[in-house]
Amino acid sequence: MKRASSFIFAASLFLLLLDCCSGSFVGICYGRNADDLPTPDKVAKLVQLHEIKYLRIYDSNIQVLKAFANTGVELMIGVPNSDLLPFSQFQTNADTWLKNSILPYYPAAKITYITVGAEVTESSNNVSALVVPAMNNVLTALKKAGLHKKIKVSSTHSLSVLSRSFPPSAGAFNSNHAHFLKPLLEFLAENQSPFMIDIYPYYAYRDSPNKVSLDYALFESSSEVIDPNTGLLYTNMFDAQVDAIYFALTALNFRTIKVMVTETGWPSKGSPKEKAATPDNAQTYNTNLIRHVINDTGTPAKPGEELDVYIFSLFNENRKPGLESERNWGLFYPDETKVYSLDFTGKDAAVDLTSGANGTRTSNGTTWCIASSKASQADLQNAIDWACGSGNVDCTAIQPSQPCFEPDNLVSHASYAFNSYYQQNGASDVACSFGGSGVIVNQDPTYDNCIYMRTGINTTVTSNTTAISSTSTSTPTPTASSSSGRQTFTWISSSLLLTFISLV
């Protein structure tokens, strides 16, 4: 009986690790609006050579699906805006498309997402009303094929879907899109699909250089922007824009929808007026972005929350209209040489260079434990009660009128309690478990006068914050996996698997 109980415990814990420790990923967008690109077969080899594990394409091109068959690269494919009308009108159109364009190549082509429409609010044609009916028909087609749990359906949006994005806590959807957004958000919530957003700090800086700091846009800022409504600190525009989406979703009571960034990046070349479009700036932005994402830092409003991101784009595309920058977002030239050096795997993404989500304080080798935003309120409350009781944590700081009471919510209070217990007990993985509610991060969660202790250190200091100019937003014309985190996970899960096997 004891052996059976141990077996069940080991199996349960192993499955828990599989579920909670995968981490965020960075993928790449494979745009093909060019007449000089290598063939899909060559692109597939290039992608594998650089260990890119996630790829977004904007249609369901058969040659691309064939090229990426059996590569292990996870694909996000798309239904273009031009196909929304037939897909929304008749279920048979979606059924036929799935039967002829997808099923013959699946699962060899590892398709995990289908985007139905792209930035429809930016389209000159009024097609937004077609998106949700088309999504429903695509989902129905997937259900008929038994794939609706393996392939998620969503639609991508530009940041202009918001009427306000600063401060982040005031994020709100544009009321002009209410007729389209309400049923879309209901679809996403019901089917556990992510809200897909395209975010470009580059445009905010380019259009308002006197209001937006270049360092803030590049994840390089030594200053902090404070949200006056929440007290949250922002050291980069990317986090601020992502949190604006989260707050906009919360305002409409869609608290469970995950955000996914389906495009972001920085151009390496531009017109004379686009002085920030340089290889150095593009390299800085994308390098810092990868470091930020793979460390699972989350954002100030969602600390520790997984955030999957796709960088735009794999190649420079010479047929894109507009300013010079539009044709120079690529990481590679069409001859497959690098535009600039970039580590797609994140293996060289040192912790001490990570841009902070909640502040600018970092320390080599130091880690903290915070509460997962995915944990239930009941689990967090139980964990706080245990940490502040049997766990012998001094929780005075999260009492009313004390430095860490605000923001007054369970995630914030649990994060302080979790970290105190974690540091007092050797900063080990086990000390940050809390039944799966704890998350280890590399960024100091300290804010204002609320100081998160480190191992052997528990001092209180006053931190000054300096707000820089508010952000503006624009959108363009329409992978790396977490190395260190997944290596740790692999070690832990492998050890547990050995234990699991020994118990059988």
Cα distance between residue 113 and residue 191, in whole Å: 13
Give yes or no: 406 in active site: no
* Joined tokens for residue 115: 């985007």
Q: Tell me the sheet residues that pair with 338.
A: 332
* Joined tokens for residue 498: 């050995």
Question: What's the DSSP call for residue 355?
Answer: P
Q: 33: closest CA among 344, 312, 342?
A: 312
Single out the catalytic residue among 74, 119, 317, 326. 119
Element spanning 495, H or E: helix 483-503
Q: 75: closest CA among 41, 45, 100, 44?
A: 44
Q: Tell me the sheet residues that pair with 147.
A: none
Give yes or no: 336 in active site: no
Q: How many CB atoms lie within 10 A of CB 83?
A: 19
The answer to whether the beta carbons of residues 173 and 135 sit under 8 Å apart is no
Cα distance between residue 222 and residue 203, in whole Å: 21
Single out the catalytic residue among 74, 186, 220, 263. 263
3-class secondary structure for 379-392? HHHHHHHHHHCCCC
The answer to whether the beta carbons of residues 235 and 356 sit under 8 Å apart is yes
CA distances to 12, 115, 193, 449 from 408, rounded to whole Å, are 33, 37, 29, 15
Instruction: Let me know if 231 is exposed, middle or buried by CB neighbors in 10 A (0-12, 13-18, 19+).
Output: middle
The catalytic site residues sit at: 119, 263
